[in-house]
Amino acid sequence: MANQPTKYRKFVVGAASAALVASAVAPVASAKDFSDTKGNTHEAAIDALSDAGIITGYEDGTFKPNKTLTRSDVVKMMGKWLVSEGYEVPEDYKTNMRFSDLQASTNDELLKYAAVVKDNGVFNGSNGRLLAGDNMSRENMAVVLVRAFDTVKDINLVEYVEAQDFDKEVTDLNSAKSEARTAINVLDFFDITTVAQFNPKDTTTRGHFATFLNNFLKADLSKVTGVVAGVESISAINTTTVEVKFVEGVTDINSLKFAIEGLEVKNAVLKQTDAKTVVLTTATQEGGKKYEITLNGNKLGSFEGISAVVPEKVTLETTSLQGILGKEVTVKANINVKEAGVPVTFNIVSESNKSLNADQVVEAFTDENGIAEYSYTRYAATDDNVQVYATGKANVRAFGKVYWANYTRLAVSEVTEGNALANGSKKVYKISSPENAGGYVNVAFKENVQATPDKLVTGAKLTDAQVFVLSPDGTTTVAANKYPYEVTTGGVQIALVKLNANGEATFTVEGSNATVTPVVFVDGEFNSVTNKWTGNGKLDATELQATAPSVKFELSHTLGLDVKAEGVMNAAAETAKGQGGREYTVTVSDKNGKLAPAGTSAYVTFPAGSISTDKKVYIVFADGSKSQVFADTPYEIKVAGTKGQATFKLVGEKDAFATPTVFLDNGTVNSKLDANDLQTVGEITYFVNAVVNNSDLMTIDANGDYTESAVVGDVVTYVYQSVDQNGFPYYEGTGRYEVTFQVTAQFGDVTVGNTTAGTVTVPRGTTRSVKANAVNGVATITTSSATPSTVTVDASASQVSLPNQSASVQFTAAPATTIFAGEVIALNDLSNVKVLYLKDAAGVVKNFKYAGGEFFDNTTSVGINTPLTETDFLAKLTSGAEVTYKKVGDKNHFYVTKAGSGAALPTSPAPTTVSVPATVTTAYLPAVTESFAKISSSIIDDVNFSDFTLTIADGSNTANVNVDATDTATDLETKINNALTTATIDALATVDSDGRVVITGGQNVNLTTSGAPADVLPSVTRNYVAAAPARAAEFVYNFTTSTVADISPTEKVTVNGITYTAGTSTVGKTFDATGNLATDLANLALVISVNDDSVSAIASTVSLEEILTLTERTGKEGTASTAAIKID
pLDDT of residue 4: 29
Query: Long-range contacts for 966-974 (Cβ within 8 Å, ≥24 apart)?
Result: 967/940, 968/940, 968/941, 969/937, 969/939, 969/940, 969/941, 969/995, 969/996, 969/997, 972/937, 972/940, 972/997, 973/997
pLDDT of residue 14: 25
Q: Residues 151-186: pLDDT tens digits?
A: 777 778 887 888 787 888 888 988 888 888 999 999
pLDDT at position 1060 over 80: yes
pLDDT band for 11, please (50, 70, 90 cuts): very low
Measured on CA atoms in the order 135, 141, 144, 145, is the torsion positive or negative?
A: positive
Report, as an integer, the average pLDDT of 341-368: 88
Report, as an integer, the average pLDDT of 1066-1081: 90
pLDDT of residue 2: 30
Do 429 and 464 touch, CB atoms closer than 8 A?
no
R_g over Cα of the chain:
50
More confident position, 1085 or 54: 1085
pLDDT at position 1083 over 90: yes
pLDDT at position 8 over 60: no
∠ CA 980-981-986, nearest 5°, is: 65
Report, as an integer, the average pLDDT of 88-97: 90
Report, as an integer, the average pLDDT of 68-91: 87
pLDDT of residue 152: 76
Q: Residues 980-1030: pLDDT tens digits?
A: 999 999 999 999 999 999 999 999 999 999 999 999 999 999 999 999 899
Looking at the chain, the whole-number percentage of residues with pLDDT higher than 70 is 95
What is the rounded distance in angstroms from the CA atom of residue 510 to the CA atom of residue 481?
Answer: 13
pLDDT of residue 24: 28
What is Dmax (Cα atoms) for the chain?
Answer: 149
Question: Would you list the DSSP string of 1014-1071?
Answer: TTTS---EE--B--BPPBPPEEEEETTTTT-----TT-EEEETTEEEEEESS-BTTEE
∠ CA 912-913-917, nearest 5°, is: 155
In this prediction the pTM is 0.41
More confident position, 306 or 400: 400
Q: Residues 269-289: pLDDT tens digits?
A: 998 888 899 999 999 888 878
Beta carbons within 8 Å of 1110's beta carbon, 6+ residues apart: 918, 1034, 1035, 1036, 1037, 1055, 1056, 1088, 1095, 1096, 1097, 1120
Q: Residues 928-976: pLDDT tens digits?
A: 899 999 999 999 888 899 999 999 999 999 999 999 999 999 999 999 9
Detail the DSSP E strand segments found in 210-264: 231-238, 241-246, 258-260
Q: Residues 572-585: pLDDT tens digits?
A: 999 999 999 999 99
More confident position, 389 or 154: 389
pLDDT of residue 816: 61
pLDDT at position 25 over 60: no
What is the rounded distance in angstroms from the CA atom of residue 230 to the CA atom of residue 225?
Answer: 14
pLDDT band for 19, please (50, 70, 90 cuts): very low
Q: Residues 822-862: pLDDT tens digits?
A: 999 988 888 777 889 898 887 788 888 888 899 999 887 66
Do 916 and 1029 touch, CB atoms closer than 8 A?
no
Looking at the chain, the whole-number percentage of residues with pLDDT higher than 90 is 53
Q: Residues 668-712: pLDDT tens digits?
A: 788 889 888 889 999 999 999 999 999 999 999 988 889 999 989
Do 269 and 277 touch, CB atoms closer than 8 A?
no
Beta carbons within 8 Å of 362's beta carbon, 6+ residues apart: 345, 346, 348, 374
∠ CA 587-592-594, nearest 5°, is: 50
Determine the 3-state secondary structure of 976 from DSSP.
helix
DSSP bridge partners of 846: 838
Query: For the chain, what is the mean pLDDT?
Result: 88
pLDDT at position 17 over 70: no
pLDDT of residue 835: 87
Query: 189 in the Ramachandran plot: left (φ > 0), alpha (ψ -120 to 50) or beta?
Result: alpha
Do 799 and 777 touch, CB atoms closer than 8 A?
no
pLDDT band for 532, please (50, 70, 90 cuts): low
Report, as an integer, the average pLDDT of 404-414: 94
What is the rounded distance in angstroms from the CA atom of residue 1101 to the CA atom of residue 1036?
Answer: 12
Beta carbons within 8 Å of 1089's beta carbon, 6+ residues apart: 1096, 1097, 1098
Report, as an integer, the average pLDDT of 337-350: 90
Do 699 and 718 touch, CB atoms closer than 8 A?
yes
pLDDT at position 795 over 90: yes
Query: 316 in the Ramachandran plot: left (φ > 0), alpha (ψ -120 to 50) or beta?
Result: beta
Least Cα distance to 1125 among 1088, 1100, 1079, 1082 occurs for 1088
What is the rounded distance in angstroms from the CA atom of residue 690 to the CA atom of residue 688?
Answer: 6
pLDDT of residue 528: 59
pLDDT band for 31, please (50, 70, 90 cuts): very low
Report, as an integer, the average pLDDT of 193-217: 90
Report, as an integer, the average pLDDT of 412-428: 91
Q: Which range is least confidently modeled, 30-44, 353-367, 551-565? A: 30-44
Q: Which domains does the chain have, with CATH numbers?
A: 6-218 (no CATH), 231-304 (2.60.40.1220), 315-405 (2.60.40.10), 411-554 (2.60.40.10), 582-604+615-688 (2.60.40), 694-812 (2.60.40.10), 817-906 (2.40.50), 934-1022 (no CATH), 1034-1127 (no CATH)
pLDDT of residue 834: 86
pLDDT of residue 26: 33
Report, as an integer, the average pLDDT of 880-899: 87
- The kind and range of the H/E element at 449 are strand 449-451
Residues listed for the chain: 1128
Report, as an integer, the average pLDDT of 433-450: 92
What is the rounded distance in angstroms from the CA atom of residue 604 to the CA atom of residue 1021?
Answer: 96
What is the rounded distance in angstroms from the CA atom of residue 1064 to the CA atom of residue 195?
Answer: 53
What is the rounded distance in angstroms from the CA atom of residue 1037 to the CA atom of residue 917?
Answer: 6
Least Cα distance to 151 among 180, 117, 128, 124 occurs for 117
pLDDT of residue 1058: 94
pLDDT of residue 27: 37
pLDDT at position 33 over 80: no
pLDDT of residue 306: 84
pLDDT at position 21 over 70: no
More confident position, 422 or 992: 992
pLDDT of residue 841: 85
pLDDT of residue 10: 27
Determine the 3-state secondary structure of 827 from DSSP.
strand
Beta carbons within 8 Å of 38's beta carbon, 6+ residues apart: none
